[in-house]
């Protein structure tokens, strides 16, 4: 080949052609460095016939600089990149960028320099130096990362390096991970578990595409079952990827993994240090990393020898990425397994309706674990009708729930209160004039966080200190909190049960694997009596002394017009209920609601999962919603409201007329202003068989927009 067509990271530029100099070897999948203007960029060599033709004559092509010392991307992975770009209507460059982990993982040397405190002191102390030294105690990272942690400039830290206060440490990013041992501590499986594990193991052995839906109640040992398949992969020298939803909560999983295989797995998530990221990426590409536990982005890594994919808590909505390439990792995982010809396990106690439907139609093999392991019973579930059993004035917990919490406290057992709302109160207003605090960048109220004394937007991160006076009428000390958030519930618990030790668990308080581990250790040691948490607490935890779960407001998720509102409420409540009674003592769940007769609440109280899924299936069928019909969205945004509106109408004017696709809009998107951008949206509702991506591509292809306009496509959207 003397001409190479590259996918490069810059989505706006599309594929570019280069000349391959005499004597240089590249092949499809090679990761190469190429000149672009005065700079050098990283790209991937692609098969020319799969990309649009180039018009640049041979003589004008610039020569490649050369390949990077990493293995070429395998054809299975290149097919996945193409499929993902195609299915989600995303630029192929944007997908390729996820594979190369934005390039940072593979560019540069295998050895990197990190720095840590040497124990020495600078000749001249400044407030900044002092702050940095204090903040970096026990840390080791690159200068840039340390600067971020300490909140000072890189220049300040370089000064400390020159003074010998920070000392260099060479980190070898090619050092191998210690080997896992398949037989380190194998459990004795129950007959039902053994049956399931056998299916997985033989599929790993057979090296064939086999999608499984592992549908088992919370605590039934789903994890134990798929770890047997991981063990098989280890024996065979093949790699396994385990995808998990909330990366902050993998600490418990990592420890469990270590207990089973003797070493922790390789982890992959967005907050890895650059040395960890580089080491993991290289080791995965070289085939040395045996088991990778990661967030959804781990799905696009260049495994040398993948033998199994597991998606745990597969129903979780956090597998859906909502910016950049808007993909659903659960679905892409199945496609990757298909391209790689390997088994994939979707594990859940509350599968998505789409997954159940795939099992029903025979595409997925559904395996069921009906009972909790070791005879632990599923908890008893009861509702509290808030219209009859009213909490005291200014409170949110009904007397019956409080009485049960008191009883737990007296017995030395734990209670868990679930409310999916961070902060103290969702809305803050002025008692004098009714002024409401709104985010300047988003269509959203600011949420009071009393612990950190901030008003914060949960969409864009905007924060301000609560002002002493109302910005509208000037009244002093006038702010009133409306409605409860977890912090307010924690305050209420402290008032009602002053001797109880209360822990608030949200992404504000448990925001790193270390903090998660701390929390788990405290809860396990019995140092916490009442846990108050958001959806972070609904999964993964296993606390034997936890015997009461209170759902503070089950109606919360049902508000708004979300297509999956009922399903999500069902999943969240069923998952959080599954935290109760996992040990020897039976568990109890109390659900506070104003609508005890709503189908989803009634099904939860009756423990009748089938009834819920049947009703929900029927509702979706009638609405033409997934899995019976398809939705897609086109979102047009700009920082300028008029520009966004005009662009939306420009698109609307070109609206195609297609038989089995209904096009709604443009209308202001549900968050009409988000992170400073005004948003309009089209919704497409199509028959399942319709080629909705082709319709969208044809529609948008020829349209031109001003610079500030962004048009993005969301296939199978989650937020409506």
Annotated binding site for Zn(2+): 430, 433, 439, 442, 457, 460, 470, 473
441 binds, among ligand ADP, Zn ion, none (CB under 5 to 8 A by kind): Zn ion
Binder among 190, 240, 383, 538 for ligand ADP (CB under 6 A): 190
CB of 634 to Zn ion, least distance (A): 23
**Please, which residue, 222 or 564, has the CB nearer to ligand ADP?**
222
Site string for ligand ADP, 531-550 (x = CB under 6 A): -----------x--------
Torsion from C-alpha of 655, 656, 662, 666, nearest 10 degrees? -10
316 binds, among Zn ion, ligand ADP, none (CB under 5 to 8 A by kind): none
CB of 131 to ligand ADP, least distance (A): 43
- The set of residues, in sequence order, having a beta carbon less than 8 Å from that of 93 and lying 6+ positions away, is 7, 8, 9, 10, 11, 13, 14
Site string for ligand ADP, 345-384 (x = CB under 6 A): ----------------------------x-----------
Query: Per rule CB under 6 A, is residue 223 in the interface with ligand ADP?
Result: yes
Nearest Cα to Cα of residue 413 among 568, 549, 250, 254: 549
**Please, which residue, 9 or 373, has the CB nearer to ligand ADP?**
373
Are 187 and 257 in contact by the 8 Å Cβ rule? The answer is no
Q: E strands within 431-508?
A: 447-449, 454-456, 463-464, 479-482, 502-505
54 binds, among ligand ADP, Zn ion, none (CB under 5 to 8 A by kind): none
Query: Per rule CB under 6 A, is residue 218 in the interface with ligand ADP?
Result: yes
CB of 592 to Zn ion, least distance (A): 29
Tokens describing residue 492: 């209420």
221 binds, among ligand ADP, Zn ion, none (CB under 5 to 8 A by kind): ligand ADP
Instruction: Answer whether the bond into residue 274 is a cis peptide, omega within 30°.
Output: no
Helical (H) or strand (E) element with 703: none
CB of 352 to ligand ADP, least distance (A): 17
198 binds, among Zn ion, ligand ADP, none (CB under 5 to 8 A by kind): none
Query: Per rule CB under 5 A, is residue 457 in the interface with Zn ion?
Result: yes
Question: Binding to Zn ion (CB under 5 A): which residues in 674-693?
Answer: none
Query: Per rule CB under 5 A, is residue 442 in the interface with Zn ion?
Result: yes
Binder among 248, 439, 505, 651 for Zn ion (CB under 5 A): 439
Binder among 19, 74, 97, 222 for ligand ADP (CB under 6 A): 222
Question: Binding to Zn ion (CB under 5 A): which residues in 462-481?
Answer: 462
Binder among 16, 45, 342, 460 for Zn ion (CB under 5 A): 460
**Please, which residue, 253 or 300, has the CB nearer to ligand ADP?**
253
CB of 225 to ligand ADP, least distance (A): 7
Binder among 30, 142, 220, 420 for ligand ADP (CB under 6 A): 220
CB of 374 to ligand ADP, least distance (A): 6
- The set of residues, in sequence order, having a beta carbon less than 8 Å from that of 508 and lying 6+ positions away, is 422, 423, 449, 451, 452
Q: E strands within 408-488?
A: 414-418, 427-430, 447-449, 454-456, 463-464, 479-482
**Please, which residue, 5 or 462, has the CB nearer to Zn ion?**
462
Tokens describing residue 605: 């109280």
**Please, which residue, 82 or 246, has the CB nearer to ligand ADP?**
246
Query: Per rule CB under 6 A, is residue 187 in the interface with ligand ADP?
Result: yes
**Please, which residue, 179 or 187, has the CB nearer to ligand ADP?**
187
**Please, which residue, 223 or 274, has the CB nearer to ligand ADP?**
223
459 binds, among Zn ion, ligand ADP, none (CB under 5 to 8 A by kind): Zn ion
Query: Per rule CB under 6 A, is residue 224 in the interface with ligand ADP?
Result: yes
Are 461 and 448 in contact by the 8 Å Cβ rule? The answer is no
**Please, which residue, 267 or 574, has the CB nearer to ligand ADP?**
574
Conformation bin of residue 545: beta by default, left when phi > 0, alpha when psi is -120 to 50: alpha
**Please, which residue, 220 or 638, has the CB nearer to ligand ADP?**
220
Give the whole-angstrom CA distance, residue 216 versus residue 367.
Answer: 8
Determine the size of the site formed for ligand ADP (CB under 6 A). 15
Are 11 and 94 in contact by the 8 Å Cβ rule? The answer is yes
Binding site as annotated, residues? 430, 433, 439, 442, 457, 460, 470, 473
Query: Per rule CB under 5 A, is residue 663 in the interface with Zn ion?
Result: no
Give the whole-angstrom CA distance, residue 337 versus residue 41.
Answer: 31
Q: E strands within 80-133?
A: 111-117
Tokens describing residue 442: 């988003």
Nearest Cα to Cα of residue 196 among 174, 170, 217, 178: 217
Cα angle: 527, vertex 530, 531; to 5 degrees: 95
SS3 for 380-392 is EEEEEECCCCCCC
Query: Per rule CB under 6 A, is residue 193 in the interface with ligand ADP?
Result: yes
Give the whole-angstrom CA distance, residue 244 versus residue 311.
Answer: 6
- The set of residues, in sequence order, having a beta carbon less than 8 Å from that of 159 and lying 6+ positions away, is 122, 129
**Please, which residue, 441 or 719, has the CB nearer to Zn ion?**
441
Conformation bin of residue 701: beta by default, left when phi > 0, alpha when psi is -120 to 50: alpha
Strands of 447-449's sheet in order across: 447-449, 454-456, 463-464
**Please, which residue, 257 or 680, has the CB nearer to ligand ADP?**
257
Are 46 and 7 in contact by the 8 Å Cβ rule? The answer is yes
For Zn ion, the binding residues (CB under 5 A) are: 439, 441-442, 457, 459-460, 462
For ligand ADP, the binding residues (CB under 6 A) are: 187-190, 193, 216, 218-224, 373, 542
């Amino acid at each position: 080949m003397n001409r190479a067509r590259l996918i490069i990271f810059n989505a706006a530029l599309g594929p570019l052609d280069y000349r391959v100099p005499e004597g240089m070897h590249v092949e499809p999948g090679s990761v190469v460095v190429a000149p672009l203007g005065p700079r050098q960029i990283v790209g991937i060599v692609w098969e020319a016939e799969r990309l649009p033709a180039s018009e640049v004559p041979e003589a004008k092509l610039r020569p490649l600089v050369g390949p990077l010392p990493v293995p070429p991307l395998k054809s299975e992975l290149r097919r996945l990149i193409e499929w993902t770009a195609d299915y989600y209507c995303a630029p192929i460059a944007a997908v390729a960028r996820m594979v190369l982990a934005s390039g940072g993982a593979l560019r540069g040397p295998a050895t990197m320099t990190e720095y840590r405190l040497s124990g020495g002191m600078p000749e001249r102390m400044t407030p900044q130096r002092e702050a940095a030294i204090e903040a970096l105690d026990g840390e080791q990272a690159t200068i840039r990362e340390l600067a971020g942690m300490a909140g000072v400039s890189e220049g300040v830290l370089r000064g400390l390096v020159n003074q010998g206060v920070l000392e260099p440490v060479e980190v070898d990013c090619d050092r191998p991970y210690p080997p896992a041992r398949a037989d380190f501590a194998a459990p004795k499986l129950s007959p039902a578990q053994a049956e399931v594990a056998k299916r997985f193991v033989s599929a790993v052995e057979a090296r064939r595409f086999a999608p499984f839906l592992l549908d088992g109640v919370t605590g039934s040992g789903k994890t134990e079952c798929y770890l047997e398949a991981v063990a098989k992969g280890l024996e065979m020298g093949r790699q396994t990827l385990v995808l998990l939803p909330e990366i902050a909560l993998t600490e418990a999983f990592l420890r469990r993994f270590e207990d089973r295989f003797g070493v922790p797995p390789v982890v992959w998530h967005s907050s890895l240090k650059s040395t960890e990221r580089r080491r993991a990426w290289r080791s995965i590409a070289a085939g040395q990393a045996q088991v990778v536990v990661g967030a959804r982005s781990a799905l696009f890594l260049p495994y040398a020898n993948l033998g199994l994919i597991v998606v745990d808590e597969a129903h979780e909505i956090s597998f859906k990425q909502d910016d950049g390439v808007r993909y659903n990792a659960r679905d892409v995982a199945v496609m990757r397994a298909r391209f790689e010809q390997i088994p994939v396990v979707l594990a859940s106690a509350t599968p998505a309706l789409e997954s159940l439907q795939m099992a029903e139609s025979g595409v997925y093999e559904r395996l069921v674990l009906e009972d909790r392991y070791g005879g632990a019973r599923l908890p008893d579930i009861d509702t509290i009708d808030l219209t009859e059993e009213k909490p005291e004035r200014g409170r949110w917990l009904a007397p019956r729930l409080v009485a049960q919490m008191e009883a737990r406290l007296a017995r030395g057992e734990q209670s868990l209160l679930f409310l999916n709302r961070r902060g103290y109160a969702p809305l803050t207003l002025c008692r004098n004039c009714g002024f409401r605090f709104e985010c300047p960048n988003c269509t959203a109220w600011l949420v009071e966080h009393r612990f950190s004394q901030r008003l914060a937007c949960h969409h864009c991160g905007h924060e301000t200190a609560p002002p002493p006076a109302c910005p509208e009428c000037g009244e002093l000390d006038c702010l009133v909190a409306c409605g409860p958030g977890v912090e307010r519930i924690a305050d209420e618990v402290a008032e009602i049960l002053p001797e109880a030790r209360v822990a608030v668990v949200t992404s504000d308080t448990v925001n790193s694997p270390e903090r998660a581990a701390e929390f788990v250790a405290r809860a396990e040691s019995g140092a916490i009596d009442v846990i108050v948490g958001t959806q972070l607490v609904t999964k993964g935890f296993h606390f034997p002394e936890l015997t009461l779960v209170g759902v503070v407001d089950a109606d919360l998720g049902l508000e708004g017009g979300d297509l999956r509102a009922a399903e999500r409420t069902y999943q969240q409540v069923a998952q959080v209920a599954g935290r109760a009674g996992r040990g020897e003592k039976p568990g109890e769940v109390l659900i506070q609601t104003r609508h005890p007769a709503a189908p989803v609440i009634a099904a939860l109280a009756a423990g009748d999962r089938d009834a819920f899924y049947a009703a929900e299936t029927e509702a979706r069928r009638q609405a033409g919603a997934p899995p019976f019909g398809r939705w897609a969205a086109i979102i047009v945004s700009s920082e300028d409201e008029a520009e966004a509106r005009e662009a939306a109408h420009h698109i609307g004017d070109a609206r195609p007329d297609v038989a089995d696709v209904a096009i709604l809009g443009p209308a202001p998107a549900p968050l009409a202003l988000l992170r400073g951008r005004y948003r309009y949206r089209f919704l497409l509702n199509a028959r399942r068989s319709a080629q909705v991506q082709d319709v969208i591509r044809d529609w948008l292809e020829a349209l031109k927009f001003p610079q500030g306009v962004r048009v993005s496509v969301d296939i199978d959207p989650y937020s409506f």
